[in-house]
Structure 1
């Protein structure tokens, strides 16, 4: 039996306490005992004047948006509950997605290259007793969060932005003409408040109430030195059948401090699901077989653990004017991905231009702001994929069912080529690729999954799939639509541009 606490204690910091804290939060979610604060209050009194155009809460990813808006001349206040500093673990992304920093003028080409800590090729997709596929240039870039955030922080401040570090938001008051952010011993007012505080934002929690997530991704892992092979990566891999009513998946990639390995699985939030501590024990038990290395050979640098909830009722529609959730706070990420950095970067250009237009024409009520987080059928269709990779607690499922299905799907996509395979691996679902793939997957692997999904889920998926086709068609006519714009007022253009963005991103056209 591996001594989990001894291994966790081998790295700096309080990894044991961090794991216990994350496990308590996972327990509270399963048992629905999370305290919902009355965090946002509405006040009918007018503010008359405000200090900033936008207050952004949550600096780790909020700095991306704050720097972009400040450089365009808007008055931005950024709140961060601790020190605004990136974590030590790299953020993985594909190179073409990083061009957003260049297009928005946030980084020079030299700065972007300096932000890249690691780059590797190729990466593997493999399933137990199934296919093994190798791809290049997909999620193979490791960005240094410390360098990136410090660079953006300095540019934000140089452009006139205001940063309040070590400032935890304690209350938000929404007024007819603005919003007030209240923290211990200080407060600020703005026309718009942007919530970038992530999955566990108190604003998002209050908006969702006691709603339970339909899907959860549990993740544990580490970065360590001592691996005999560290030139390639795994995007998704499995080498076991279904265990403990879960299919275990692995991810691995070279890191500046060694090699990062994750164990993750897709579950629901039922009470009897296992704990993160148990999952960490499984990680230590299986890691030697996965990487062909003894634990005694490894020098652990840090550990990673957490869970990522996903709600079918997404993106989040808050009941308040002048509050816009972005990134993981909005729940707009795919239920099969972790969200975070990659999802934020993908939408950074869209959000920057959309928020700027909203401020210009004062489109700051809840109905106008919800268009900045539109329905995206290419994300909605992935709920069925998430369901096929998870196992209900009370259902008996053949141990190889998920591996066989995943292997069959990826074998088809590999035959169809990179235009089909690579977008899917980057969590971008496109109608032509999906339409080519589905009929070619062997029905003997698909049909056993359908009863587990259920008719309501299948009907819902069909609706999103058809909408994906509609959005794809509408997006293909972007140029003919441009003539309409000249006939619209600035206010009307705001709404028109949001529809164009919805069609583009909702069809996966942003990857093109």
Structure 2
């Protein structure tokens, strides 16, 4: 019996079975053998009437935008395949980012305080040869998903929203004036011995929002079976027994390349123990290892990482998953009246895993944009695509992701990635928190990036030249284009902002387009970020 089998079999909830199901999906993705859904079609006949303004598939992140829209008076329905409830594992985020919940009246000050399960300081970046960098107030807040989602669910219902739990999306027909969404309502047995019953329902809506995640049938159909350009594999646990649990690791590495991958670690104090993750960046080559294999390495390396023996720990939860990333992101749905948010849209850096932070960052923008789209009836594919615009600040991170990974047959100095990261982060530390902190929160800004690259190139020219054969000339050329676009967007935003009084005199439909471009330049250059 492997370490993974031995430990996971002792954790309640049968995580070993869940891990192997995730591995089946990962294998299908690598082999490009997953079935291609075809759940959406278009018809020219009009619906004439609709029951909702918005139907949202996927409640975990969908309830955030659903609540803001319901509070603005729109008729909103949220579908959730099971029961809408948060998991036990906290979501880590920075305190400043949580202010949007107050700004949008989603939570009161007291409720926000209650939603914060853990808070710690400082956090560490760690590399071989005892290189350590410490920062404060970055990803140091652990939000309780159970309380947060329950509170938002109640607020959503109070605002008149319709929550359809145990209801699965099946298909959709797009009409000129709306979308007919076919869903299946699964009824739990009322009496012992009864079988499960199902009932099909048609929901007629002006707009369908997909928040069902990376493997949403809508996303799979839109991407037409495209293999991801990169994948982040993650495994971890929450356990008690750690003697030191006051600080966290945002990013730690202590091993050279192995299995044609660089292993990275995170660690955070949790309400009921300490959470530790092992993650790595790779491609979806069929030769890549399984999540279960990565978990085995996790358990073998955890004692060295946390300076503790496995028998001293009591494991509470097992955590695992993989996050496909596409350069063609954020995803622009090729359909009228259909829009993707959260993990479905890919609107996060390929360096991050999980879409909660990105969803919170863009929540104000998406709320305003969808509200304006509904008000002005700008629900065509072209109009909605402006709500998920090209963002140079996102696209430039692909080169960073590439520099932290290695191909299956690529030969690389086993210490090169560690040396590169340690050097760059040390240079950023010397430049100060205004340079380092945004980057650690997945926000890339032109001036900060330029200063970092210039300082690194001057002080370590040899290291820079080593990167070129690793990432490839094509990747470098593409990155250069995104880099200069980042500079262009940085200049365009303040200029366009000064013209706001003029555009406010235009008809609402014209204002919709102005504000979408304004937000694209703002968020696309990282100028939405405010230092905490």
Q: TM-score range by the shorter chain?
A: over 0.9
- Secondary structure (helix, strand or coil) at the match of 2:168 reads coil
Matched, 1:291 2:299: no
Matches of 1:478 and 1:123 in 2, distance apart? 37
Give how far 1:484 is off. 2.3
Matches of 2:348 and 2:55 in 1, distance apart? 23
Worse-superposed segment, 350-359 or 8-17 = 8-17
Q: Taking structure 1 as reference, are residues 192 and 101 closer, same or farther at Cα in structure 2, changes over 3 Å only?
A: same
Residue 435 of structure 1: aligned partner: 450
Matched, 1:228 2:246: no
- Whether the 8 Å contact between 1:93 and 1:140 is mirrored in structure 2 is yes
- Whether the 8 Å contact between 1:30 and 1:269 is mirrored in structure 2 is yes
Residue 362 of structure 2: aligned partner: 347
Residue 279 of structure 1: aligned partner: 294
Unmatched tracts of structure 1, length 5 or more: none
- Secondary structure (helix, strand or coil) at the match of 1:433 reads helix
The CA RMSD measured in Å over matched residues stands at 1.0
Residue 446 of structure 1: aligned partner: 464
Give how far 1:465 is off. 0.4
**Structure 2 matches for 1:65-76, cutoff 5 A?**
65-76=65-76
Matches of 1:347 and 1:62 in 2, distance apart? 13
Residue 315 of structure 2: aligned partner: 300
Find 1:466's aligned residue among 477, 481, 484: 484
- Secondary structure (helix, strand or coil) at the match of 2:17 reads helix
**Structure 2 matches for 1:97-496, cutoff 5 A?**
97-129=97-129, 131-184=131-184, 185-441=200-456, 442-496=460-514
- Whether the 8 Å contact between 1:334 and 1:427 is mirrored in structure 2 is yes
Matches of 1:281 and 1:431 in 2, distance apart? 40
Worse-superposed segment, 350-359 or 440-449 = 440-449
Give how far 1:315 is off. 1.5
- Whether the 8 Å contact between 1:130 and 1:403 is mirrored in structure 2 is no
Matches of 1:249 and 1:452 in 2, distance apart? 19
Residue 197 of structure 2: aligned partner: none
Give how far 1:130 is off. 5.8
1:266-298 alpha-carbon deviations (Å, 9 max, x no partner): 000001011111000000000011001111111
- Secondary structure (helix, strand or coil) at the match of 1:36 reads coil
How many residue pairs end up in the alignment? Answer: 512
Give how far 1:478 is off. 4.7
Structure 2 length normalisation: TM-score?
0.95
- Secondary structure (helix, strand or coil) at the match of 2:256 reads coil
Q: Which runs of 4+ in 1 moved over 3 A?
A: none
- Whether the 8 Å contact between 2:125 and 2:252 is mirrored in structure 1 is yes
- Whether the 8 Å contact between 1:130 and 1:407 is mirrored in structure 2 is no
Residue 85 of structure 1: aligned partner: 85
- Secondary structure (helix, strand or coil) at the match of 1:309 reads strand
Give how far 1:2 is off. 4.8
Unmatched tracts of structure 2, length 5 or more: 185-199
Structure 1 length normalisation: TM-score?
0.99
